[in-house]
Amino acid sequence: MDYQTLIEEVYQEIQSENPRGKVADYIPEIAGVNPDQFGMALVDLEGNVFGVGDYQVPFSIQSISKVHTLTMVFPKFNTQLWSRVNVEPSGNPFNSIAQLEYEKGIPRNPFINAGALVITDALCSKFDHPVEQISTFINDLAGENCVRVNQEVMNSEKNHAARNTALAYFLKSYQNFDNPIEQVLDVYFSHCAIEMNCVDLARSFSFLANDGYSIFAKREILTESHARRVNALMLTCGFYDEAGEFAYRVGMPGKSGVGGGVAAVMPHKFSIAVWSPELNEKGNSVKSIRALELLTDKLSFSLF
């Protein structure tokens, strides 16, 4: 398979279609990024990298980091984790407070904000220096020192934290939060503020295409069984309340973030990261999603 030609074709088609959306404006520091940027990197399971467009430009990975934090926490708690957070698609906006109330403080899944806060809380219970350890972990997955926590983005979110703080207090009121709220929020905003480029992000997801074994870290990151579960969660919950549409149109497990990135895997074949800042009304990058749809159409295979 000539992946380089494939992604270049996809890139050209997207540039001529030029679908537009709106850059996330609720995190002021992200609102200022150049909306025209668009890049894509595909990494196969031999470690070959194929890239096009702005694939070497670092961007804010935001919620994509929730896959990394879940990966750190899952082996520490195993199935006990699922008494604190469910594994169902939410069908609601990612920062919904109403859903958390009528489901009595158990978030729908680890990727909506409430669920990710529970995961970050669990992480803080097991790791003494969470922010450093998350960065080290992702560097290890990518096989190089690539992670930078953008302090401006982190502070920007911290200064607009009312909703995430409300979610954390809500969780606490249902005894589903163990550590000090401020501390966990700081860790959460820091991991959301991680910047990486498409190549490193795709490399950091490679183990999920490879039954849990990372060819970059040269070790098993998750058991095959845990890796399958993380992929199932990405497929059903990785795209806010548009996960069904993504599975229908693209058919790959993946995770998006409001910075405009999407990381996805084709099990036993490759991992891929796509980035373009303009989002649709569900919070997913318009160009990234369209690019992955074109890619799987051209490949004429997906998961299904």
Please identify every residue annotated as catalytic.
63, 66, 188, 240, 258
**58 forms part of the interface with ligand GLU (CB under 6 A):** no
Candidate list 39, 58, 115, 257; residue touching ligand GLU; CB under 6 A: 257
| Minimum CB distance to ligand GLU smaller for 10 or for 23 | 23
| Minimum CB distance to ligand GLU smaller for 127 or for 188 | 188
| Minimum CB distance to ligand GLU smaller for 167 or for 252 | 167
Residue 92 identity (one-letter amino acid): N
Give min distance, CB of 191 to ligand GLU, in A: 9
Backbone torsions φ then ψ of 51, nearest 5 degrees: -140, 155
Candidate list 10, 114, 258, 263; residue touching ligand GLU; CB under 6 A: 258
Among residue numbers 197 through 256, which ones bind ligand GLU (CB under 6 A)? none
Q: What is the largest CA-CA distance in the chain?
A: 54
Give min distance, CB of 199 to ligand GLU, in A: 20
Give min distance, CB of 269 to ligand GLU, in A: 26
* x/- letters, 78..117, toward ligand GLU (CB under 6 A): ----------------xx-----------------x----
Beta bridge mates, 41: 51, 273
Q: 270 CB contacts (<8 Å, ≥6 apart)?
A: 3, 42, 43, 44, 45, 209
CB 87 within 8 A of CB 156: no
Among residue numbers 113 through 152, which ones bind ligand GLU (CB under 6 A)? 113
Candidate list 121, 157, 195, 241; residue touching ligand GLU; CB under 6 A: 157
Helix, strand, or coil (residue 161) = coil
Spatial separation of the C-alpha atoms in residues 61 and 262, rounded to whole Å:
8
| Minimum CB distance to ligand GLU smaller for 62 or for 236 | 62
| Minimum CB distance to ligand GLU smaller for 92 or for 302 | 92
What tokens appear for 293 in the block? 């749809």
Helix, strand, or coil (residue 61) = coil
Helix ranges (H only) for the chain are 3-17, 28-31, 65-77, 98-102, 113-126, 130-142, 151-158, 162-173, 181-192, 198-209, 224-237, 243-249, 286-299
**Chain residues that interact with ligand GLU, rule: CB under 6 A:** 62-63, 94-95, 113, 157, 164, 192, 257-258
